[in-house]
Amino acid sequence: MFFNDFLNEELELLISLPVRAGIWMSRADDVSTTDRDDKKEMLVLENVLKSIAGHKKAAPFVSELVKQTLDYKHVWDAWAGNDTEESFFKDVGIAMNLVSERLPEENILNYKNALYHVADTVAHAYDEHVGDGDDLREEMFLGGLVTRLMDRLDARIDMQNPENVSAAESAALQKLKTALKL
């Protein structure tokens, strides 16, 4: 019922932005010596999208939209593959215009908040300001299996630790907040 007001390409844009917001944030401050941060951030991204999709009563439009995002997991890499910061923010602007023109205020705010929440949650997913060498030594010491299990467990825990966000991620979150007019 919510999606009838949008053309297919507009709907694809709206559906792609939640995952693109998470991937864009994960690229804001990568740890160069390990891909462990990317793996953990992708686990957190998927978990936060599942959580948002589960809020059917509180935010039915966003819940259904993010359910579609999850259904299209097989194209996430394509959606974000060539994303630059410029193209991401251009699409955020287009999406804000689309929802502002066609949705009730509550749905607009829920969509904006969902995009920000995804990026914020991913920003908190990995402690990138810890020295890269520490993570590399930990991975070598613990071994890949234990490290992956710990990352999966951490990805399920609320990562809202302000000390966990680097300066680059904090600046990126502020830029997104401005673009969303939150």
Nearest 10 degrees: Cα torsion 101, 104, 108, 111: -120
pLDDT digits (tens, 9 = 90+) for 102-136: 999 999 999 999 999 999 999 988 654 444 444 44
From CA 117, how far away is CA 101, in angstroms rounded?
A: 22
Give residue 74's pLDDT.
95
Residue 6 has pLDDT above 50, yes or no: yes
Instruction: Find, among 9, 31, 5, 49, the residue nearest to 135 by Cα.
Output: 31
HSE, CB side, 13 Å, CA atoms: give it for residue 60: 6
pLDDT at residue 145 in the model: 42
- Sorting pLDDT into bands at 50, 70 and 90, what band is 141? very low
pTM tops 0.85, yes or no: no
Amino acid 165: pLDDT: 78
Tokens, residue 38: 């990317």
Q: pLDDT for 50-101, tens place per residue?
A: 999 999 888 999 999 999 999 999 999 999 887 899 999 999 999 999 999 9
Please state whether 181 falls in left (phi above 0), alpha (psi between -120 and 50) or beta: left
Give the single-character DSSP code of 124.
Answer: T
